[in-house]
Structure 1
Amino acid sequence: MSKRIALGLFLAAAVLGGCQKKAIPTKSKASNRPMPEAVRAMNVDFRFLSAKGKAQFDMQGNQQAANINVRIRKDSVIWISASLIGFEGVRAYITRDSVQVLDKLHREYYAGDFAYLSQRLNVPVNFEMVQALLLGNYLPPLNPATEPTVQTDGSVQRVSYEQAGLLVQQLIELGKARVQQLTVNDPATQNKVTVDYTDFRVVERTPQSFAYTTQLQLQQGTTKPTAATISYRTVDVDKERLQFPFSIPKGYARKK
């Protein structure tokens, strides 16, 4: 159960999880590159962001739910806690070059780098990708030489590009200047991942709206789709300087 929660907590990274492994660089400064002028997306800007809500998972008919608490220090730290029936089961502490996961249910922990997520999801993952997908921000190509194709269809802008054999497409709602859908398709395997951002609300102390609901669907061939939904109750931006507590209790076994 804890493994499933841990993977669900990394919903942002799982956007590519249904596609076969490709030669994609794991270290990228995509978030530091300026957004192409033609792309009309506005990313959430902040120093500290906190969000609380519920995550629901449907994996091959097995449904689970957990309360989650997400804290982010922009471009620096992502902290996630998941609780079941009032008891914390999983805590994650992610930086630009490290991933630490505490499994309280099994008194185990992992401490390493992004190879952990890459191995679990069978695709290279980096900090910029996780942060962008948790926030619903525009996700630029990992390869800075890749130029996206931009098309406008009424009130929606369609941004697409090919990345190591994967077809990536983002739909941007021009009225809100926010990404409303991200799809990643692998033509070779016909696997597809779709992430929908809905229930946009203006957050205090920032001009950007935030998607209070994130829905992910993973289709692998003809198997039954795997789905996950995160619904936030509260989202606060720069309300206070956040703490990111993380320590390994005595007696916990390190998971290799």
Structure 2
Amino acid sequence: MSKYFLGWVCIVVLLTSEGCGRRKMFRNAPPPPVRSDTVSVQPSVRPDSVAAAPMPSVDPNATVDQVDFAYLTAKSKVSFKSKEQDINNANVNLRIDKDSLIWLSVSGVGVEVARALITQDSVVIMDRIHREYSVYDYASLSQRFNFNLNFGLIQSLLIGNLPLPQEPAQRVKNEKDFLLLRQQEGKVLIDNYIGEENRKLKKLLVVEQPTKNSLTLDYEDFTVLNNFLFPYTSLVTVDYKSKNDGQPYQTVLRIRHNKVELTDKNPGFPFSIPPKYQRRP
């Protein structure tokens, strides 16, 4: 597999607190009331639903609109389903120091069960339930999953930016209701589906050859945030064939942000491992 798969596999690992160690840290949360499963922020503008003056046509060679910020904070609900685990609406607090740190706190039934810190060099996961922690560098993670990973990839996928920089030679072409930017690195083909009017990445399709393992990422509920369009909902679907039994499986991850802020003020990134915590191999 490739680093594009690992980016979201790693996010699944962090957000669900199940992962490289394969240990469940909390049981399935009960289904929430209907209101808690919807985005509570009322945007000032919804480009998909508010009538507005026609926008000028987009040059197919124009760059894709990217979210820029100093710091980002978000309160979110995460649901995750795989052959091993089914979690409904776990609470996740997310903080990002652009190009430097990603901080996550995962809680279930009002109790923090995990905290994670992703830096340019490493991924650290602290298990509050079992009083353990794990430290991974990108080289070891890449070796474990047999493909590469970097900080920029995880950050881009979380905020809805292109997973790969757009190169001058890469042309955008019209594809039905989207603009299609096709990229390829090694055996991995990446199709970026971009909105014609707002030039935002709306759908990402990653297919690995020759296994045909695929990752589909759909961004929805775009909201105006500090003059940027930000996706408040992300749906990730990974279809793959197991190396162990050769059977096809699917993993689904949904992130619904209740509140997102782009700010110049440092929100703090508290992360301290208690002395009694044991490091997990």
- Give, in whole Å, the separation in 2 of the partners of 1:131 and 1:159: 20
- Unmatched 5+ residue regions in structure 1? 12-36
> What is aligned with 1:70?
94
**Alignment partner, residue 12 of structure 2:** 8
Contact persistence 1:99–1:116 (CA under 8 A): no
Residue in 1 that maps onto 2:124: 100
Is the partner of 1:240 in helix, strand or coil?
coil
Structure 1 partner of 2:275: 250
Residues 11-39 of structure 1: CA deviation (Å, up to 9, x unaligned): 7xxxxxxxxxxxxxxxxxxxxxxxxx924
Q: Which secondary structure does the structure 2 equivalent of 1:201 belong to?
A: strand
Q: Does 1:233 align with 2:253?
A: no
Which residue among 198, 202, 209 is the counterpart of 2:220?
198
**Are 2:216 and 1:212 aligned?**
no
Once the 2 structures are TM-superposed, how far is the Cα of residue 239 of structure 1 from its aligned partner? 6.3
* TM-score, with structure 2 as normaliser: 0.73
Report which stretch shifted further, 245-254 or 217-226: 217-226
Does the aligned pair in 1 maintain the 2:61–2:171 contact within 8 Å?
no
Question: Which residue, 53, 57, 62 being the options, matches 2:80?
Answer: 57
Q: Does 1:139 align with 2:163?
A: yes
Give deviations 1:199-232, integer Å, cap 9, x for gaps.
10111xx211110000000111352311010000
Query: 1:116 Cα deviation (Å)?
Result: 4.9
Contact 2:104 2:117 in 1 (8 A): yes
Helix, strand or coil for the counterpart of 2:268?
coil
The whole-number CA distance in structure 2 between the counterparts of 1:252 and 1:6 is 22
* Alignment RMSD: 2.4
**Deviation per residue, 1:86-105 (Å, 9 max, x gap):** 11111111111122111112
Query: 2:71, 2:266 within 8 Å by CA — same for their partners in 1?
Result: yes
- The Cα offsets for residues 56-82 of structure 1, whole Å up to 9 and x where unpaired, read as 001027421311011001111110111
**CA distance in structure 1 between the partners assigned to 2:84 and 2:101 by the alignment:** 33
- Once the two structures are TM-superposed, the CA of residue 42 in structure 1 deviates from its matched residue by 1.1
Asked if the contact 1:39/1:159 (under 8 Å) is kept, the reply is no
Give the direction of change, closer, same or farther, for the CA distance of 1:7–1:173 in structure 2 (3 Å limit).
closer
Helix, strand or coil at the partner of 1:132: helix
Contact kept, 8 Å, 1:219 with 1:225, in 2: the verdict is yes
Distance 1:119 1:69 in 2: 29
Q: Displacement, 1:152?
A: 2.0
* Number of aligned positions between the proteins: 223
Deviations 1:176-219 (A, max 9, x none): 2211011110130111110110010111xx21111000000011
1:17 paired residue number: none
Q: TM-score if structure 1 supplies the norm length?
A: 0.79
Could you tell me whether the CA contact under 8 Å between 2:234 and 2:254 is conserved in 1?
yes
Flag structure 2 segments of 5+ consecutive residues without an equivalent.
1-8, 16-59, 242-246
In 1, the alpha carbon distance for the partners of 2:11 and 2:140 equals 11
Deviations 1:136-194 (A, max 9, x none): 1012259x7x9534212355210112111111111111322211011110130111110
Q: 1:168 to 1:48 in 2, by over 3 A?
A: same
| 2:61 counterpart of 1:38 | yes
The CA distance in 2 between the partners of 1:85 and 1:118, in whole Å, is 33
Checking the alignment, whether the CA contact within 8 Å between 1:190 and 1:220 is kept in structure 2 is yes
**By how many angstroms is 1:122 displaced?**
3.7
The letter of the residue matching 2:229 is S
